[in-house]
Amino acid sequence: MKGQAIMALFRFNILILIKRSNAISPLMQLLTTLRFFGTGAFYTVEGDLHDVSVPSVCRIVHRVANSLARLTDRHIRFPVDIQDVMKTKQGFFDKAGFPGVVGAIDCTHVRLYGAPLGDDEPLHVNRKGYHSINVQAVCNASFKMTNVAARWPGSTHDSAVLHGSLLGEMFENGRLQGTLIGDTGYALRPWLMTPVAEPTTNAERRYNRSHRRTRVTIEQVFGQLKCKFPCLSLGLRVAPRRACQIIKACCVLHNIAKELREPEIEGELREDEGNDDIPYDGHIQDGTIQRNRIINAYF
Ligand SMILES: *[C@@H]1O[C@H](CO)[C@@H](O)[C@H](O)[C@H]1NC(C)=O
Ligand SMILES: *[C@@H]1O[C@H](CO)[C@@H](O)[C@H](O)[C@H]1NC(C)=O
């Protein structure tokens, strides 16, 4: 993040959340942390700070990451009131003509390395064979994150992350309205539309195209996030619980950067970070009627 954005973080009162430590001012701690998020290495940060050891840099980063992560509910909000829901649907409709969309959903892996994982080690091995956290996120049409779940070990399938998350539960029991857009890794639900696997009609093909153009938003958000915060694409050399706090902190900063209209450097995800897209093969598939209704009415 650039100087202007850092200055603007004052407006969000972030500095008052950070306590002084070993005579290192809150501003210096924030800058140290941003530098770590931007490089992914504790020792490159150490070079900037005279007389501060790597362990204290780690402590600073974790303390500041925790403070930022605590702002998740303030800066990452799912649209619930009618105005916000309508605005969100309109945003997606303007993009690719898909009706009723309240969010694009996907997961991305953040690599963990070098940290002791103990008995949970096998749980963290993802299908590409490395240790990770599988991070679920939902965004809106202006690339803001509206929901993040960063607590699942890398072996968890995308559909299981959704199933276990509060967001999934709220859609399930009707407390959230509207449609999520997800890839074939998810079950087709009345509230989550997936692509038609083998489209046979022109309407189905148009549906598929619109679906893809809507869904790509979340992939772009992951690209922007990992480009802004290379620590997430390089991998985190910390314990899983701490990694999750750092991930949430970066997501909060991503949204703050959007609020400040920071320009994006578009980043492509590396092959091994992309979403799994292992097709969902569970038994729940109760969204066919709803999908056909959308295809017939809009495409
Ligand atoms: C995306 O969400 C943010 C707040 O969470 C809101 O300010 C913005 O207007 C939304 N954009 C669209 C297109 O829905
Ligand atoms: C529709 O989407 C599925 C899944 O993404 C894809 O396999 C298929 O090729 C798509 N078909 C068309 C015509 O876009």
Please give the number of the atom of ligand 2 that sits closest to the Cα of 183. 5
Tell me which residue of 135, 5, 148, 140 sits closest to 76, measured CA to CA. 148
Whose CA is closest to 274, among 122, 135, 81, 92?
Answer: 135
The pLDDT assigned to 199 comes to 95
Q: Under a CB-based contact definition with an 8 Å cutoff, are residues 217 and 143 in contact?
A: yes
CA dist 37 and 65 (Å) reads 10
Ligand nearest to the CA of 79: 1
Taking the domains of the chain in order of start, what are their residue ranges?
3-70, 77-246+263-298
Cα 290 to ligand 2 centroid, rounded to whole Å: 18
115 CA → ligand 1 middle, Å: 37
Q: Ligand 2 centroid vs 121 CA: distance in angstroms? A: 35
CA distances (Å), 110 to each of 54, 243, 288, in order? 22, 9, 33
User: Token digits for 221?
Assistant: 């958000």
pLDDT of 15 reads 66
C-beta 195 within 6 A of ligand 2: yes
Does the beta carbon of 213 sit less than 6 angstroms from any atom of ligand 1? no
Instruction: Tell me which residue has its CA closest to atom 13 in ligand 1.
Output: 91
pLDDT of residue 244: 96
Packing angle of the helix pair 26-39, 240-259 (nearest 10 deg):
100
Residue 260, pLDDT score: 83
| 3-class SS letters over 23-51 | CECHHHHHHHHHHHHHHCCHHHHHCCCCC
pLDDT tens over the chain, length 299 residues: 555 556 566 655 666 667 666 667 888 888 888 888 988 877 666 656 666 777 788 888 999 999 999 999 999 999 999 999 999 999 999 999 999 999 999 999 999 987 778 888 889 999 889 999 999 999 999 999 999 999 999 999 999 999 999 999 999 999 999 999 999 999 999 999 999 999 999 999 999 999 999 999 999 999 999 999 999 999 999 999 999 999 999 999 999 999 888 777 666 655 555 555 678 878 788 999 999 999 999 99
| Strand, coil or helix: 286 | coil
